[in-house]
């Protein structure tokens, strides 16, 4: 069944990518859209651009580079390979997609990426590069994810938050981000993979060529996983004339009406 | 030559888009793959809002009864990045459309395809139905 679906999708996709000139007087181009337009394929393998100070330019904007529907599959593991503890596996299997906080316009957090663009925004002061902001068109719900680049350590004590506390450093073409202090409210994917406040993530973002950014991701959460796990995600450079646009998720979120369910109080 | 260019430009403005269906929350949670409809009507309102555009269409049946459909579409960001403008689709226009009815509220549907009534084979928007969801790179 799945094979038939894949074939059908491929055929539909192929059919829709072809230009369909009806005749010269009535030409209509059918353009496959879907997600954010990416840079043309022939540019992807170009050299990694540098900033004026010689360091790698990680700006983007990018699409992808994280989980969305299933962190296990999208992170490069086979079904069942994600070392979830039994309670976490049971919770994941019980959860319903419609109950994900993201559906209620709450933050998607790490390492979730939806099909909308995002970028690293470098912030300089007289002391140099002190902060990197990760700006998502959608999914940060009005927060700003900040990575402290000034050499500070994590605080000893904190209130758990949706995006946690991130410290980072640049090693050549790789930005290493170490994060703790997450709350347990967001889901890793629409499938419902859970975590606890013990979550500690390490992202190693490497721009391997002009159009590609790899996220080597370490997930370490002894509260929900039996051991740390290594995942890998890839982000793609979007077409360079495009900018992040305004996206106010809460302005007209009608999720639940067609399906006859209401977003619960915790999600609102 | 100029006429051909003008027609081509107009055609480009009316480009068809393909988008993953309701990518950020599953199709099955809200819509019914068995309730596919193919109807004609008049647009009464268009909401250029996030997280989804909404196109409201009044459909009059043979007996004269009017059903008001509220159809969910892609984010305006998605269609704007692919060449739509404010005048691509307007209230008052006669359209033909395909969609999937809601699980509970049938006229609160997911838009699969829409075209102006006088050019039904030139869709302005095409969105994969439920058959496009599995395996689609809708990250």
Q: Give domain status of residue B136, yes or no.
A: no
Domain assignment present for residue A256? The answer is no
Chain A residues whose CB is inside 8 A of the B120 CB are none
Asked whether residue A140 falls in the same domain as residue A27, the answer is no
Residue A74 lies in a domain: yes
Q: Does A197 score more than 90 pLDDT?
A: yes
Give yes or no for a cis peptide into B16 (omega within 30° of 0).
no
Is the model's pLDDT at B6 over the cut of 80?
no
Q: What sign does the CA torsion over A183, A185, A187, A191 have?
A: positive
Q: What is the C-alpha separation between A239 and A249, in angstroms, rounded?
A: 23
- The partner residues of A145 in beta bridges, in order of sequence, read A134
- The two most distant CA atoms of chain A are separated, in Å, by 70
pLDDT classification of A112: cutoffs 50, 70, 90: very high
The pLDDT, as a whole number, for residue A209 is 97
**What pTM does this model have?**
0.83
State the DSSP code for B14.
Answer: T
**Does A24 share its domain with A67?**
no
Instruction: Return the residue of B nearest to A260 by Cα.
Output: B104
Backbone angles phi, psi at A232, to 5 degrees: -140, 130
- Nearest chain A Cα distance for residue B129, angstroms: 10
In this structure, what token pair is assigned to residue B121?
């084979």
- CATH number for B90: 2.40.50.140
Contact call for B26 and A254, based on CB within 8 A: no
Given a cut of 50, is residue A23 above it in pLDDT?
Answer: no
| Region B51-80 average pLDDT | 94
Rounded to an integer, the average pLDDT of B69-75 is 93
Asked if residue A86 belongs to a domain, the reply is yes
**Residue of A19, A76, A259, A262 to mutate when probing chain B, most B C-beta within 10 A:** A259
* A260:B51 CB<8 A: no
Structure tokens at A177: 């981000």
What percent of chain A is modeled with pLDDT above 90?
Answer: 75
Q: Name which of B26, B70, B74 is nearest A97 (Cβ-Cβ).
A: B26
Chain A CB contacts of B16 under 8 Å are 16, 28-31
In a domain, A49, yes or no: no
The partner residue sitting opposite B103, judged by closest CB among A5, A24, A260, is: A260
In chain A, how many domains are there?
Answer: 2
**Residues A136 and A204 reside in one and the same domain:** yes
pLDDT of residue B132: 47
Chain B positions in Cβ-Cβ contact with residue A35 (cut-off 8 Å): 20, 78, 137-139
Q: Is residue A158 located within the same domain as residue A236?
A: yes
For B90-112, write each residue's pLDDT tens digit: 999 999 999 999 999 999 999 98
pLDDT mean over A58-72: 96
Structure token pair of residue A90:
């049971």
8 Å CB contact of A31 and B17: yes
Domain membership of residue B137 (yes or no) is: no
* Mean pLDDT score of chain A: 88
Task: Identify whether residues A190 and A104 lie together within a single domain.
Answer: yes
Using a CB-CB distance cutoff of 8 angstroms, which residues of chain B are in contact with residue A37? 81-82
| HEC readout, chain A | CHHHHHHHHHHHHHHHHCCEECCHHHEECEEECCCCCECCHHHCCCCCCECCCCCECCCCCEEECCECCCHHHHCCCCCCCCCECHHHHHHHHHCCHHHCHHHHCCCCCCCECCCCCEEEEEEEECCEEEEEEEEECCCCCCCCEEEECCCCCCCCCCCCECCCEEEEEEECCEEEEEEECECCCCCCCCCCCCCCCCCEEEEEEEEEECCEEEEEEEEECCCCECCCEEEEEEEEEECCCCCCCCCCHHHCCCCCCCCCCCCCCCCC
The answer to the question of residue B30 being in a domain is yes
Evaluated on CA atoms A182, A80, A212, A140, the torsion sign reads: negative
From B11, B31, B131, residue closest to A28, measured CB to CB: B11
Interface contact flag, B82 A37, Cβ < 8 Å: yes
Q: How far is residue A261's CA from residue B30's CA, in Å, rounded to a whole number?
A: 9
Containing structural domain, residue A9 = 2-32
Closest CA in chain B for residue A243 = B81
| A44 confidence band (pLDDT: 50, 70, 90) | very high
**Number of independent structural domains in chain B:** 1
CA angle A108/A110/A111 to nearest 5° reads 105
A99 in Cβ contact with A267 (< 8 Å): yes
List the domain range (segments joined by +) for residue B58. Answer: 2-131
């Amino acid at each position: 069944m799945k094979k038939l679906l894949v074939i059908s999708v491929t055929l539909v996709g192929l059919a829709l990518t072809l230009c369909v000139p009806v005749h010269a007087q009535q030409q209509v181009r059918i353009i496959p859209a879907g997600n954010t337009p990416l840079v043309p394929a022939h540019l992807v393998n170009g050299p990694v651009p540098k900033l004026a100070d010689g360091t790698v330019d990680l700006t983007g904007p990018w699409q992808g580079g994280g989980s969305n529907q299933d962190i296990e599959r999208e992170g490069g593991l086979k079904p069942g390979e994600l070392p979830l503890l039994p309670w976490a596996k049971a919770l994941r299997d019980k959860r319903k997609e419609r109950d994900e906080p993201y559906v209620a316009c709450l933050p998607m957090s790490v390492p979730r990426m939806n099909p909308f663009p995002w970028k690293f925004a470098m912030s300089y002061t007289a002391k140099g590069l002190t902060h990197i902001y990760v700006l998502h068109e959608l999914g940060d719900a009005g927060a700003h994810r900040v990575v402290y680049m000034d050499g500070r350590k994590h605080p000893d004590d904190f209130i758990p938050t949706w995006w946690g506390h991130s410290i980072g450093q640049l090693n050549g073409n790789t930005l290493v981000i170490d994060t703790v202090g997450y709350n347990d409210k967001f889901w890793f994917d629409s499938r419902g993979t859970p975590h606890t406040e013990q979550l500690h993530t390490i992202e190693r973002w490497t721009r391997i060529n002009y159009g590609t950014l790899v996220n080597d991701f370490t997930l370490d959460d002894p509260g929900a996983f039996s051991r740390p796990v290594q995942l890998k995600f890839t982000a793609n450079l979007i077409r360079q004339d495009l900018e992040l646009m305004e996206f106010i998720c809460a302005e007209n979120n009608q999720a639940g009406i067609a399906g006859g369910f209401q977003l619960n109080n915790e999600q609102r | 030559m100029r006429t051909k260019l003008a027609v081509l430009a107009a055609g480009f403005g009316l480009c068809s888009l393909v988008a993953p269906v309701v990518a950020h929350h599953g199709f099955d949670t809200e819509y019914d793959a068995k309730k596919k409809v193919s109807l004609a009507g008049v647009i009464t309102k268009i909401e250029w809002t996030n997280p989804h555009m909404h196109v409201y269409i009044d459909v009059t049946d043979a007996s004269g009864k009017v059903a008001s459909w509220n159809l969910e579409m892609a984010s305006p960001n998605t269609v704007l990045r692919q060449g739509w403008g404010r005048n691509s689709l307007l209230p008052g226009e006669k359209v033909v459309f395909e969609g999937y009815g809601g699980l509970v509220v049938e006229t609160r549907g997911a838009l699969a395809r829409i075209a102006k009534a006088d050019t039904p084979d030139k869709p302005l928007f095409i969105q994969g139905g439920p058959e496009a969801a599995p395996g689609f790179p809708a990250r």
